[in-house]
Chain A
Amino acid sequence: MSKIETLRERLEQIFGNQLQNTVLELGEITIEVAAEHYLDVCEKLRDDDVFAFEILIDLCGIDYSAYGQDEWKTDASANGFSRGIDSAQHGRLKFGDELPENQSERKRFAVITHLLSIKNNQRLRIRVFAEDDAYPVVKSVVDIWNGVNWFEREAFDLFGIHFDGHPDLRRILTDYGFVGHPFRKDFPLSGNVEMRYDEEQKRVVYEPVSIEPRVLVPRVIRENNNRHNMPANEPESEE
């Protein structure tokens, strides 16, 4: 049994049904933990000698609300192909538009953590979903790995995920006085406000953005290009 399969087995042994899901793909293990068990699991991952994940490499937020949606659904008819561009997709959003509701069965926000064990030379990914889509809260792991402080601030800033127990949850990357959480899928790429120096008022002023969102390449999902899942000996289909 390879090293990574051993790790998977141990994870399932020790945590049992605290894990909602364990995936081993592309040589990487992902575990999904319920928000209530998050801290216990993390602490054991750091302190238990079979895991010994001393370093938290990365923590990031993710917004699953537009997962699996594409912008290029064409209908063929006697007159030719339709253009198939749906305006209310992320990337085409304008100031004031609203993204269609989260239709997937999973929760909208998750926090993804990458751990590294120097002692055992292995990695692990943890995903924990925030229970409430409207006010996402996840417990902070800052007491387990001190270096996570800024990573959690970043996830709060960009996604609006609140970290319960974080000592200093402020915005970090966006401007002072910024409104909104820019990496959410319903935040337009062009932003909401633009800034310029006003000669008359002798100060910098903020105004609603004047540029139109522009998509040069639409987002498409093509199953037949799914090379990874294709049997090796099957000839590739023509487009």
Chain B
Amino acid sequence: MPEIRNYTLNFGPQHPAAHGVLRLILEMDGEVIQRADPHIGLLHRATEKLAESKPYNQSIGYMDRLDYVSMMSNEHGYILALEKLLGVEVPERAQYIRVMFDEITRLLNHLLWIGAHGLDVGAMTMFLYAFREREDLMDVYEAVSGARLHATYYRPGGVARDLPDSMPQYKASKWHSQKEVSRLNDTRSGSLLDFIEDFTTRFPGYVDEYETLLTDNRIWKQRLVDIAIVSPERAMQLGFTGPMLRGSGIEWDLRRKQPYAVYDKLDFDIPVGTNGDSYDRYLVRMEEMRQSNHIIKQCVDWLRANPGIVMAADHKVTPPRREEMKGDMESLIHHFKLFTEGYCLPEGEAYGAVEHPKGEFGVYLVSDGANKPYRMKIRAPGFAHLSALDEMTRGHMLSDVVAVIGTQDIVFGEIDR
């Protein structure tokens, strides 16, 4: 009998199903995975080291570029740690705006996830559907910050500016006919809040559409049910957070358990899985989208009824208004100091964590009293999840590896940092 040897397969780093630049060394017995060794770091930019060389405010933009599909949630984690050390009071309206955008970001993230996950498993249509909705949400980003992806909208002490009264309009062009443009502009004729409210009424119907396509789909279930089962004990041992942990049946959500911003005033449920397989994680994320939509709706109602300031008036940390600078010497000094040297944080350390769409995103700041962080550590949820890929894929088929990468919701911006 000839000797049978394991086969080693190199997967990626350039592979459409690798969700970026993942290189996997797969040791296989036939088509069954014996060992998976992910090689990461191909997108390593040393964000933490760069942040050490810059005043605090200049690193907010780097946060967007970590998990580049859930930009504002990353910013929130950083800002929380910063505000903890600074001790700044954030106006309530700013907190509601942050929560609303956190949830919009969660929708953005989960939409990309369902699109890419579907594509990996063979459901091409999902990608097109999900990107239709992402387009609307990115318009919201654009209206509020001027950028469709990398917003840099959250600031210590509040948010960069209040919600605008009008939405950007589409213009007819070679690619968009007048008829199509007027349909698009129809919902964009009011304020930003009007548009978001209109979106929240439409969105549950969209989620129903996705579920019609996937939830009872035979192929979808064959590819996800009983794949990569993680028991609750193992999930905790492996450092899982977010939907990965909830999929295994542990009810843990920072928004509820350790509430930040105004989550304690809002009504929402935490979906939890039972079997801990990929299909449960799919169901958990789908339900999270509905819950996020519900939270956004509550925020819209509150924001309509409660106008006010969105930035703390503490000018050691937040910039003064332009009109004030024209007439007031002190404001001019504050502005100059803030944008040249920045502000110094008191000596100490703080850890700020948010319930990011992928799990617990935390920023650990060590300050020695300077205007730049002494050490910043970004705790990326995907890092812990990907490190469990070996355990999750062992004994499964080669094609399941792709489904497992999909169910882990991997984005390399945050893993490689």
Give A contacts to B, CB under 8 Å: 25-26, 28, 30, 54-58, 60, 62-63, 66-68, 70, 91, 112, 114, 116, 118, 121, 123, 125, 145-151, 154, 171-175, 182-183, 189, 215, 217, 219-223, 225-229, 236, 239
CB neighbours of A229 from chain B (8 A): 346
B239 touching A221, Cβ below 8 Å: no
B250 touching A172, Cβ below 8 Å: no
For the complex with contacts A28-B349, A172-B40, 8 further pairs of A-B residues with Cβ separation under 8 Å are: A55-B236, A63-B375, A114-B379, A154-B383, A173-B40, A217-B340, A222-B371, A228-B87
Contact of B364 among A112, A146, A226, A228 (CB under 8 A): A112
CB neighbours of B364 from chain A (8 A): 58, 60, 112, 114
Q: Which residue of A lies closest to B366 (CB)?
A: A62
- Known interface pairs A150-B384, A217-B54, A217-B55; A225-B344 also in contact (CB < 8 Å): yes
A220 touching B370, Cβ below 8 Å: yes
Q: Number of residues in B with C-beta < 8 Å to the partner?
A: 60
CB neighbours of A151 from chain B (8 A): 383-384
A228 touching B86, Cβ below 8 Å: yes
How far is it, in angstroms, between the C-alpha of A182 and the C-alpha of B237 when the chains are bound?
29
- Known interface pairs A118-B250, A175-B41, A239-B333; A149-B368 also in contact (CB < 8 Å): no
A-B contact pairs, 23 of them (CB 8 A): A28-B349, A28-B350, A54-B236, A57-B362, A58-B377, A68-B369, A91-B52, A112-B364, A114-B364, A114-B379, A123-B351, A125-B349, A145-B237, A146-B238, A147-B239, A147-B387, A154-B383, A173-B417, A174-B44, A175-B41, A221-B369, A225-B343, A227-B316
Interface flag for B255 (CB, 8 Å): no
Report A43 CB to chain B, min CB distance, Å. 14
Report A21 CB to chain B, min CB distance, Å. 13
Report A204 CB to chain B, min CB distance, Å. 15
A56 touching B348, Cβ below 8 Å: no
B41 touching A173, Cβ below 8 Å: yes
Interface flag for B416 (CB, 8 Å): yes
B333 touching A228, Cβ below 8 Å: no
Q: Which residue of B lies closest to A236 (CB)?
A: B316
Name the residue in A55, A125, A215 with the highest tally of chain B Cβ atoms < 10 Å from its Cβ: A55
CB neighbours of B383 from chain A (8 A): 150-151, 154
Name the residue in B257, B350, B372 with the highest tally of chain A Cβ atoms < 10 Å from its Cβ: B372
B351 touching A226, Cβ below 8 Å: no
B239 touching A57, Cβ below 8 Å: yes
- Known interface pairs A147-B237, A174-B41, A222-B344; A239-B366 also in contact (CB < 8 Å): no
A215 touching B388, Cβ below 8 Å: no
Q: Which residue of A lies closest to B233 (CB)?
A: A54
B236 touching A118, Cβ below 8 Å: yes
Contact of B239 among A56, A60, A66 (CB under 8 A): A56
Name the residue in A54, A147, A229 with the highest tally of chain B Cβ atoms < 10 Å from its Cβ: A147
Q: Which residue of B lies closest to A70 (CB)?
A: B370
CB neighbours of B351 from chain A (8 A): 28, 114, 123, 125
A220 touching B384, Cβ below 8 Å: no
Residues 330-353 of B contacting A (Cβ, < 8 Å): 333, 337, 340-344, 346-351, 353
How far is it, in angstroms, between the C-alpha of A60 and the C-alpha of B252 when the chains are bound?
24
- Known interface pairs A67-B374, A182-B46; A149-B41 also in contact (CB < 8 Å): no
A226 touching B344, Cβ below 8 Å: yes
CB neighbours of B341 from chain A (8 A): 217, 220
A68 touching B333, Cβ below 8 Å: no
CB neighbours of A114 from chain B (8 A): 351, 362, 364, 379
A226 touching B54, Cβ below 8 Å: no
Report B62 CB to chain A, min CB distance, Å. 14
Report A192 CB to chain B, min CB distance, Å. 13
A219 touching B40, Cβ below 8 Å: no
A217 touching B342, Cβ below 8 Å: yes
- Known interface pairs A217-B340, A217-B371, A221-B344; A121-B257 also in contact (CB < 8 Å): yes
CB neighbours of A222 from chain B (8 A): 344, 369, 371
Contact of A189 among B44, B50, B86, B237 (CB under 8 A): B50
